Amino acid sequence: MDDVLSLKQKNAKIVKVLVLVVIGMFGFGYALVPLYDVLCDLTGINGKAKSLATEEIPYKVDMARDINIELVTSLNESTPMRFHAETKQLKVHPGEYHTVYFYGQNQTDKILEARAIPSFTPSIAAEYFHKVVCFCLNQQTFKPNESKRMAMRFAVKPDLPKELKTITLSYTFFDNTKSAIQN
Amino acid sequence: MSAIVAEHDEHHDHDDHGPAKGILRWIITTNHKDIGTLYLIFALAMFFVGGVMALIIRAELFQPGLSFVEPQFFNSMTTMHALVMIFGGVMPAFVGLANWMIPLMIGAPDMALPRMNNMSFWMLVAGVVLLSSTLFMEGGAPAAGWTMYPPLVLQTGKALPFAIFSVHLLGISSIMGAINIIATIFNMRAPGMTLMRMPMFVWTWVITAFLLIAVMPVFAGAVTMLLTDKFFETSFFDAAGGGDPVLYQHIFWFFGHPEVYILILPTFGIASTIIPVFSRKPLFGYSSMVYATAAIAFLSFIVWAHHMFTVGMPLAGELYFMYSTMIIAVPTAVKVFNWTATMWKGAMTFETPMLFSISFVVLFTMGGFTGLMMAIAPSDLQYHDTYFIVAHFHYVLVPSAVFMIMAAAYYWLPKWTGNMYNEKIGQLHFWLSAVSVNILFFPQHFLGLAGMPRRIPDYAVQFTDWNMISSIGGFIFGFSQLLFLYIVVDTIRGGTGEKVTNEVWEGALQYGGGMTQGLEWTLPSPPPYHTFGEAPEVVVIEYEH
């Protein structure tokens, strides 16, 4: 009988350890969420812009280089808006400040809460894109059928890697009205 | 059942009884052989359910245009075919084989946790029933692909929470199965059955079980995040709330890549068991097989993003995932060379299990090479989400995992039932399957390279010819499997009438266990309901060098 008992104990022990591993791995799945953000933050590899507007720092303008900036706009799923960039493309010198405008219109007769999410291609460019003013930093509230002209002021940092000649910046407007009301 | 009664006079300290009577036997059973049988029959049933879905897909793709089904339903079919085949077919078939064979191979009286064993089987049934029920729901079954990428998957209708809960159930079921298998292998080996003497099937399964325990909870977490994103206002994958849909792909493939090895490692174990027996030679390079399996399992955790080369990773990431993926070819090649070397100058015979095993070695290698092609990040941009990937993963699943499950069934059916299957029909089944599986999947390489995307119900006309050929192969393959069903039923009901010996196959005792005599071949065919009440003697085989 000793043998039987010790087998039971051995089984109980191994099950305990393995169940802990299972719980740990379930937690690890969730831990990947902040880990992913931290990793992307450190390396800037997913094209996410830092959502902080900082004050205007005077840069030394590099007149020798022309950087092509492309502005792309899109709407997510069912966001009931009209949204486009007034300037779709412009050439800038690194270090120079420019202001571009976007046009957004609420297509419904209800209040619309929407948020624009930026994304850079190539993703590495996110680190060298200095925004001073941006409509994407806050949730935008549109009154029924209201249209807005929204500004974004930026400079490309002069230490932008030499091989980068075109930066595509895309904004997608997400409809947050539902969650905004519930909160 | 008479054999079971006849063995009743064997002495046991406890549990000295046969199975319960009637249908209740199968519901309340805690016997590893009964549960193994349940798993295998369930997997066979799901193989046909998933197969019907595949035939619906191939019928629709026979010619361009929408012929039979709505696009939404077509997408449901591709999604459900994958989920049913992976979680209802291949994985349960392996668990069934593990239940039947691991205790017999290591000389244990049963699994370590027999009640949990019963529970994990019935939870699997519940999970698959729940999943199938989504076919009848408003908005249809999940149609966003088995990978369930957000935001697309969040547009699923009423079916989404049901599909997610069914994934939870299937996950819990396979985690419990894995815990049981590890406990059995670690605690219940007969004296003398050291780790480095275990049969390769046992080795590959213990490594698979660790993979399951490590990644199924991560998958459960990922789908739970989908659930809370949809219903509880979290924003794990919702960019508007600060989340990132690409994060889902990372978490999913952190699970998904080890998962594809969960589907293939036991296959390697079966091949390493069958090939030596029919070559009448010991397995070449036993320990290198063990280490190669462990190496593949380890590498599976660090290569996941090769499934998402097109997602916009930085160059350094693409290079890392490209090279680390290519390294996997090394331990895999060790295995392929070992199988080949095992056959080299062997006294080979070509019974059905061996035919399936040889075709596995050849066709799996082809699937492996297309995998290498796609590991090359710059060219993967061309292959990504085309029929090329469909051809690749079907080569490593159908003529590999599925063929070896069938080889295992042919190999052990005489042991399980005491009856011999009809070798002629078995060989007919093999040749029909082996030829048609290539007619079915080989043209898909061409389609993919020519640019035909996967998961579409309609296609450009220039793809018509190869799609027709592929569909014809699909229907021949599908209907050939009815022969397998016939053989299984026929063998259970008496087969050829030839009484099989304990050893069944000449050389099985000597070569079927790897480093020791194959313990399952020391038992009568069929084995009594309870076996190895007392630990058997493990006979180590001394090989001349």
* Domains, chain B, with CATH or none: 2-522 (1.20.210.10)
| A86/A30 same-domain check | no
Flag whether pLDDT at A53 surpasses 70. Answer: no
| A58 domain residue, yes or no | no
> Of the candidates B187, B214, B246, which has its C-beta nearest A11's C-beta?
B187
Q: Output B133-142 pairs: Cβ under 8 A, ≥24 positions apart.
A: B133/B162, B134/B80, B134/B159, B134/B162, B134/B163, B134/B166, B135/B76, B135/B80, B137/B162, B140/B72, B140/B73, B140/B76, B141/B76, B141/B79, B141/B80, B142/B76, B142/B79, B142/B80, B142/B83
> What is the per-residue pLDDT for A48?
63
From the list B37, B132, B174, B370, the catalytic residue is B174
Q: Which of B110, B246, B249, B321 to mutate to test the interface with A (most CBs of A within 10 A)?
A: B246
pTM of the model: 0.88
| A154 domain residue, yes or no | yes
Task: Tell me, yes or no, if A38 comes closer than 8 A to chain B by beta carbon.
Answer: no
Task: Tell me, yes or no, if A17 comes closer than 8 A to chain B by beta carbon.
Answer: no
Half-sphere exposure of B476 (CA within 13 A, CB side): 20
| A61 domain residue, yes or no | no
Q: Which residues of B293-302 are buried (b: 16+ CB within 10 A; e: fewer)?
A: bbbbbebbee
> What is the per-residue pLDDT for A40?
73
B26: tokens are 């199968």
Task: Tell me, yes or no, if B542 comes closer than 8 A to chain A by beta carbon.
Answer: no
The whole-angstrom separation of Cα A139 and Cα A178 is 13
**Rounded (10°) CA dihedral B195, B196, B197, B203:** 70
A33–B247 CB contact, under 8 Å: yes
| A11/A82 same-domain check | no
Task: Tell me, yes or no, if B240 comes closer than 8 A to chain A by beta carbon.
Answer: yes
| A79/A153 same-domain check | yes
The DSSP result for A60-106, as a single string, is: PP-TT--EEEEEEEEE-TT--EEEEES-SEEEE-TT-EEEEEEEEEE
> What is the per-residue pLDDT for B168?
96
| A50 domain residue, yes or no | no
Burial of B543 (0-12, 13-18, 19+ CB in 10 A): exposed
| A104 domain residue, yes or no | yes
B169: tokens are 């159930």
Which domain covers residue A4, as residue numbers?
1-43
The whole-angstrom separation of Cα A117 and Cα A139 is 10
Q: Which of A4, A11, A38, A175 to mutate to test the interface with B (most CBs of B within 10 A)?
A: A11
| A87/A124 same-domain check | yes
| A115/A33 same-domain check | no
Residue B402: DSSP 8-state: I
| A35/A84 same-domain check | no
Flag whether pLDDT at A23 surpasses 50. Answer: yes
CA distances from B129 to B47, B51, B121, B234, B327 (A): 14, 17, 13, 29, 40
> What is the per-residue pLDDT for A43?
67
| A6/A87 same-domain check | no
Rounded to the nearest 10 degrees, the angle between the axes of helix B352-375 and helix B265-279 is: 140
Among residues B24, B22, B17, B185, the alpha carbon closest in space to that of B99 is found at B185
B421 is annotated as an active-site residue: no
Which residues pair with residue A72 across a beta bridge? Answer: A170
pLDDT averaged over 10-residue windows placed end to end, chain B, 545 residues = 42 58 87 96 97 97 93 95 96 97 95 94 96 92 93 90 95 96 95 94 97 96 95 87 88 95 96 96 94 96 93 86 95 96 95 97 96 94 94 96 97 95 96 97 96 94 96 97 96 89 92 92 93 90 70
> What is the per-residue pLDDT for B214?
95
| A75/A128 same-domain check | yes
Q: Which residues contact B179 (CB under 8 A, 6 or more apart)?
A: A14, A15, A18, A19, A22, B113, B116, B209, B213
B445 is annotated as an active-site residue: no
| A121/A178 same-domain check | yes
Q: Pick the residue from chain A with its C-alpha nearest to B152.
A: A77
B307 is annotated as an active-site residue: yes
> What is the per-residue pLDDT for A50?
58
Q: Output B463-471 pairs: Cβ under 8 A, ≥24 positions apart.
A: B463/B64, B464/B63, B464/B64, B467/B61, B467/B62, B467/B63, B467/B64, B467/B443, B468/B62, B468/B63, B469/B439, B469/B443, B470/B58, B470/B61, B470/B439, B470/B440, B470/B441, B470/B443, B470/B444, B471/B58, B471/B59, B471/B61, B471/B62
Task: Tell me, yes or no, if A118 comes closer than 8 A to chain B by beta carbon.
Answer: no
- A89-92, strands of its sheet edge to edge: A89-92, A67-75, A166-175, A112-121, A140-142
Task: Tell me, yes or no, if B186 comes closer than 8 A to chain A by beta carbon.
Answer: yes
| A143 domain residue, yes or no | yes
B261 is annotated as an active-site residue: yes
Interface predicted TM-score (ipTM) of this complex, two decimals: 0.86
Task: Tell me, yes or no, if B244 comes closer than 8 A to chain A by beta carbon.
Answer: yes
> Of the candidates A11, A24, A28, which has its C-beta nearest B112's C-beta?
A11
Flag whether pLDDT at A182 surpasses 80. Answer: no
Half-sphere exposure of A67 (CA within 13 A, CB side): 29
How many independent structural domains does chain A possess?
Answer: 2
Flag whether pLDDT at A99 surpasses 50. Answer: yes
| A37/A120 same-domain check | no
Type of residue found at B46 = M
Q: Which residues contact B410 (CB under 8 A, 6 or more apart)?
A: B351, B352, B353, B356, B421, B426, B487
Only one residue has tokens 């090649």, namely B333
| A134/A176 same-domain check | yes
| A48 domain residue, yes or no | no
**Which residues of chain B are within 8 Å of residue A123 when distances are taken between CB atoms?**
312, 314
The whole-angstrom separation of Cα B527 and Cα B186 is 23
Contact A142, A106 (CB under 8 A): yes
Q: What is the CATH number of the domain that holds A95?
A: 2.60.370.10
> What is the per-residue pLDDT for B7?
44
| A154/A98 same-domain check | yes
Type of residue found at A122 = P
> What is the per-residue pLDDT for B367?
95
A115–B254 CB contact, under 8 Å: no
Among residues A70, A69, A101, A104, the alpha carbon closest in space to that of A86 is found at A101
| A23 domain residue, yes or no | yes
